[in-house]
Chains A and B, each alone.
Chain A
Amino acid sequence: MVSHDILIVGGGLAGLAAALTADPKLNVAVLSKVHPIRSHSVAAQGGINAALANHPNAKDDTWEKHAFDTIKGSDYLADQDAAELMCQLAIPTMYELDHWGVPFSRFPGGVIAQRPFGGAGYPRTCYAADRTGQVLLHTLYEQCIRKNVTIYDEIVVTNIVVRDGRCVGLVAYDLATGEIRPFAAKAVIFGTGGYGRIYKLSTNAYINFGSGIGMAYRAGIPLKDLEFVQFHPTALYGKNILITEAARGEGGYLVNNKGRRFMEDYAPTAMELAPRDIVARSITTEILKGNGFENAYVHLDLRHLGREKIEKRLPGIQEICINFSGIDPADTPIPIQPAQHYSMGGIDVDKNCASLVKGFYAAGECACVSVHGANRLGGNSLLDAIVFGKIAGVSASKFINEGGFAGPRDAEITAEAKTLTDQFESIRKRDKGHNVYQLLNDLKILMGDKAGIFRDGKQLQEGLDGLSGLKEASRDSYIYGSCTRFCQEFVTLIEFKYMTDLAETILLGGLKRTETRGSHFRTDFPKRDDDNWLKHTLASYSDKGPVLSYREVNVDKYKPQERKY
């Protein structure tokens, strides 16, 4: 059996950052269902935040101001000590990334360039044109090559093996061979990313199903604040491909069918650069009021920026518009609509990325520390993934070096792999039942309808009812194809189970949270309610569905105030 000191699941920014900081004396490996550079992080466009104070208008920026903006943006649900930690570490992290080879764009004088982003008091988003995610992910991968990190790609992890409250290994489906394999480890780190694709309209990669979050939940770790789902204001109409916030940071306008910059009515000071939850709701409200085009989208107008600026600062956006919509943003406004984008909630971990289960750590979009609270600011999640990925690598190493591991349980991991192999075999023998791709499609539509930008108690309840039907139907889903290798259908079948867990937690957490905060907008409870709801939701797995409990938010420093932009 393959056995390592630390197994890292996920080849995105969080996973690779963890691999780079793990103790080099330990035997570390990364497992990923796609080659690391094919991970979703590669698609991030706009940039990554750090209070470097390089912009002429940001000379007095500090990490404390960055932390305050993050906390205010979170609608005060972020843990303030965690947000401070991230913003403080952001600064040395940028210089380290530069030293590792990230080709950041520059300002005169040779310092790293920074641009304005939504919800931020200063221009503090570092970037490489609009390909920031790509250069970050490629650079971290390059460093993994330099350090000779072992990487197993095209391996789909299906289960976490926990014995006596300790994580002892994993079970995974090897795409190339078709085998279900046991993996033993002294510590495991998850950097498995978000679940965007449980929504029909999502900016996420096709592979983002969030199964890692579901596995942790089934392994007994609570999920935190899952009801907070970020909808990005500007996704390309029809294709849902992201048009980065940097397009507005560089000066783009949002315009309705009357030719008006309607953000005037919703956020008169910040205008287009208000936080995402506010801009996404404003756009949806305009469309519902009949001020959209074809009742479906509004315009993001970049024409006044001029061709030269667009080609230099937003070349990727121009390419996307031309390829996928046949329009050049230098000549024509971009049709945009909001779409699911990011998961604020996730696996419950502390500032050290440690969870309730000993030896199990999580970082990046799959985890919830929480630094984003009820709404994440643009440019903060690449930062979260790298900063906390690094912390997770250190924490897991420390755990092993301090003797936290209580001995191998190889036979039990092998037994779990055998159970799953038998299940696979018996599913393959079925010759009728439900098609999992159809079920998945139904789930995506349900989530968009019942747990979207605007929510109310009735809808959320309907969502839960609909979901139990889907879960029931999935019990007899079957594999139509006859293949065992690269059997995407089998992967989808496994991931579907976890997706329904996440959907249930989002719907139930949202139903119980009778207030409006950040991305969670309840039309039947339109006000924030700090007296009753300034707390994190924790959902724990049980046979009968999620069991909810709540935890205080760390509000050491900044007293919650009304959010005005």
Chain B
Amino acid sequence: MSTTFKILRFDPPKDEHPHFQEYIHTPIPGDTMLEVLKEIRDQQDPSISFRYSCREAVCGSCALTINGTICLACKTQFEALKTDVVVIEPLPNLEIIKDLIVDFKPFWDAYNFIQPYLQPEGQAVPEKGHCVEEKDMEKVFQFITCILCGSCYAACPVATRDGRYLGPAALAKLYRFAIDPRDKRPWSALARVDNPTGVWGCDTVFRCNDVCPKEVRPADGIEGLRRKLVVDRTKHLFGRKK
């Protein structure tokens, strides 16, 4: 079916303002929105820029806003949109670099801030690896499916309001490490987010859970951190460390 695609175009500093450009295209049945975008680019206008890599919803490159909804282009079936006008825009809350490509800097800054790496006891690798029961390891599985696509950050009203807020993905990542049985980070590492730009900034409107394409439920991580912080703070005050 012939469909109109309105794609947001912006090439600063050449363009002063973003504008929409229209393309008429007939997608192939079964096409994802990433395939549609590539077809339009390859056949009509090679100057359209957007990110992609895996085309199977695992690399986190292609998060966009399609008809007002934040989603992965490669995971969105064209037919499921059921409209004859499709509006394609970049992720909100992040600055546009060109067309559909946004600057992830604030997202990565937050990610780096939480010290996103395992902090086990000691430097030496245990001879036979760490001994961890599956049921304990399983607790992190919900959070390791995160592909760092930025959708939750883009959808978060707190991040819109306050650029310093760390956002759902970074906080959920911190929780992933905090509950990893191998991780022994000091209390001070968690205390870094015990404030309004960290876990207490969350408005609990759960937009992040709704948009996440990998069902991470990052707000569960924020909730978990809050609980942990309250308990740990008490313990810490009484001189017992983690």
Q: In the complex, are the beta carbons of B59 and A42 less than 8 A apart? A: yes
Q: Does any Cβ of B come within 8 Å of A259's Cβ?
A: no
Interface-lining segment among A270-278, A449-457, A474-482? A474-482
Partner of B134, one of A105, A134, A481, A485: A105
Determine the residue in chain B with the shortest Cβ distance to A242.
Answer: B56
Contact B61 A38, beta carbon cutoff 8 Å: yes
Q: Contacts A38-B54, A99-B125 known; A107 to B134 CB distance under 8 Å?
A: yes
Interface centre among A40, A206, A239 (most CB of B within 10 A): A206
* Stretch of A73-81, A90-98, A182-190, A522-530 that contacts chain B: A90-98
Q: Number of contact residues on A: which range applies?
A: 35 or more
The smallest C-beta distance from A179 to any residue of chain B, in angstroms, reads 14
A99 to B134: give the CA distance in the assembly, Å: 16
Within the complex, what minimum Cβ distance (angstroms) separates B133 from chain A? 5
- Contact partner of B98 (CB less than 8 A), chosen from A207, A241, A320, A486, is A486
A164 CA / B159 CA spacing, docked (Å): 54
B147 touches A134 (CB 8 A): yes
Q: Is the CB of B116 within 8 A of A142?
A: yes
Are B131 and A485 in touch, CB under 8 angstroms?
Answer: no
Query: Smallest CB–CB gap between A54 and chain B, Å?
Result: 9
CB–CB A96/B125 < 8 A: yes
Q: How far is the CB of B174 from chain A (nearest CB, A)?
A: 12
Q: Residues 117-142 of chain A: 1 if any B CB is under 8 Å from the residue's CB, otherwise 0? A: 00000000000110100110011001
A488 touches B (CB below 8 Å): yes
Whole-angstrom distance from the CB of A250 to the nearest CB of chain B?
A: 16
A134-B58 contact in complex given A92-B125, A483-B47, C-beta closer than 8 Å: yes
Among B42, B45, B59, B129, the residue within 8 A (CB) of A38 is: B59
Q: Annotate A27-55 by CB proximity to B: 1 below 8 A, 0 otherwise.
A: 00000001101111011000000000000
Chain A residue with the shortest CB-CB distance to B134: A106
A483 touches B49 (CB 8 A): yes
- Return B85 CB to nearest CB of chain A, in Å: 24
A135 proximity list for chain B (CB < 8 A): 144
Instruction: Using CB atoms and an 8 Å cutoff, list the residues of chain A in contact with chain B.
Output: 34-35, 37-40, 42-43, 92, 94-96, 98-101, 103-113, 128-129, 131, 134-135, 138-139, 142-143, 145-146, 176, 205-207, 238-239, 241, 316, 319-320, 323-324, 437, 479-483, 485-489
Give the shortest distance, in Å, between A199 (CB) and chain B (any CB).
15
A40-B129 contact, Cβ under 8 Å, with A34-B61, A103-B144, A176-B97: no
Neighbouring B residues of A488 by C-beta, 8 Å: 41, 46, 49
Known A103-B180, A483-B49, A486-B99: A98·B141 in contact at CB below 8 Å: no
What 7 additional pairs, Cβ within 8 angstroms, besides A95-B129, A107-B134, A205-B59?
A: A95-B126, A134-B147, A143-B117, A207-B52, A238-B30, A481-B48, A483-B47
Are B182 and A101 in contact (CB-based, < 8 A)? yes
Contacts A38-B60, A38-B61, A487-B47 hold; do A99 and B120 have CB atoms under 8 A apart? yes
8 interchain residue pairs of minimum CB distance:
A101-B118, A481-B47, A110-B131, A486-B49, A481-B46, A142-B117, A489-B46, A437-B42
Knowing A37-B60, A205-B53, say if A145 contacts B117 (CB, 8 Å). Answer: yes
Set A103, A111, A323: member contacting B141, Cβ < 8 A: A103
Residues of A within 8 A of B127 (CB): 95
Q: List, in ascending order, chain B residues with CB within 8 A of A109's CB.
A: 131
Closest to B182 in A: A101
| CB under 8 Å from chain A, chain B span 93-130 | 97-99, 101, 104, 112, 115-118, 120, 125-130
Residues of A within 8 A of B3 (CB): none
| Smallest beta-carbon distance B205→chain A, Å | 26
CB-defined A-B contacts under 8 Å, sample of 6 = A37-B60, A95-B126, A98-B129, A101-B177, A112-B129, A316-B58
**Chain A residue contacts of B32, Cβ below 8 A:** 324
Would you call B57 and A323 a contact (CB within 8 A)? yes
Asked if B75 is at the interface of the complex by the 8 Å CB criterion, the answer is yes
**Distance in Å: Cβ of A260 to nearest Cβ of chain B:** 29
Q: Is A103 in contact with B137, judged by CB distance below 8 angstroms?
A: yes
Contacting residues of chain B (154-196) with chain A, CB-CB under 8 angstroms: 177, 180, 182-183
> Which residue of A has the minimal Cβ distance to B61?
A38
Q: Size of chain B's interface in residues, with CB distance under 8 A? A: 56
Cβ-closest chain B residue relative to A176: B97
Q: Residue B140 at the A interface, CB < 8 A?
A: yes
Any chain A CB within 8 A of the CB of B211? no
Please tell me which one of the listed residues B45, B53, B99, B128 contacts residue A111 in the complex, with CB atoms under 8 A apart.
Answer: B128
A136 CB → nearest B CB, Å: 11
B148 sits at the interface (CB 8 A)? yes
Cα–Cα, bound, A250→B128 (Å)? 25
Q: Which residues does chain A contribute within 8 Å of B183, judged by CB atoms?
A: 101
Within the complex, the shortest CB–CB distance from B99 to chain A, in Å, comes to: 7
Task: Name the A residues within 8 Å of B230 (CB-CB).
Answer: none
- Neighbouring A residues of B67 by C-beta, 8 Å: none
Asked if residues A241 and B56 are in contact (CB atoms below 8 Å), the reply is: yes
B49 touching A99 by the CB < 8 A rule? no
**Is A106 touching B137 in the complex (CB atoms < 8 A)?**
yes
Asked if B145 lies at the interface with its beta carbon under 8 angstroms from chain A, I say: yes
Set A43, A101, A489: member contacting B180, Cβ < 8 A: A101
How long is the Cα–Cα vector from A488 to B101 in the complex, in angstroms? 13
B182 touches A111 (CB 8 A): no
Most buried by A among B120, B130, B182: B130
- Kindly state whether residue B55 has any CB partner on chain A within 8 Å: yes
Knowing A43-B58, A101-B182, A323-B57, the reply to whether A142 touches B129 (Cβ < 8 A) is no
Q: Min CB distance, B238 to chain A, in Å?
A: 30
Chain A residue at minimum C-beta to C-beta distance from B133: A110
Give the complex CA separation of A211 and B182 in angstroms.
40
Produce 1/0 per residue, B37-81, CB < 8 A to A: 010011101111101111111111100000000000001000000
Contact present for A205 and B46 (CB under 8 Å): no
Q: How far is the CA of A241 from the CA of B125 in the complex (A)?
A: 36
If A101-B118, A483-B47 touch, whether A205 touches B55 (CB-CB below 8 Å) is yes
Nearest CB of A to B132, in Å? 5
Given A107-B134, A131-B145, the answer on whether A99 and B126 have CB atoms closer than 8 Å is: yes
B11 proximal to A (CB < 8 A): yes
Beyond A38-B53, A206-B53, A437-B46, is A485–B140 a contact (Cβ under 8 Å)?
no
CA distance A485 to B128 in the complex (A): 49
The answer for the CA separation of A279 and B67 in the assembled complex, in Å, is 43
Name which residue of chain B comes closest to A112, CB basis: B129
Query: Do A320 and B47 touch across chains, with their CB atoms under 8 A apart?
Result: no
* Best-buried of B42, B48, B120 by chain A (most CB within 10 Å): B42
How far in angstroms is the closest Cβ of chain B from A512? 35
Q: Which residues of B contact A142 (CB under 8 A)?
A: 116-118
| Nearest B residue to A106, CB-CB | B134
- Please give the distance in Å from A562's CB to the nearest CB on chain B: 38
Q: How far is the CB of A62 from chain B (nearest CB, A)?
A: 15
Q: Which residues of A contact B125 (CB under 8 A)?
A: 92, 95-96, 98-99
Q: CA A385 – CA B3 in complex, angstroms? A: 44
Residue of A37, A176, A324 touching B56 (CB-CB under 8 A)? A324
- Alpha-carbon gap, A131 to B144, bound state (A): 9
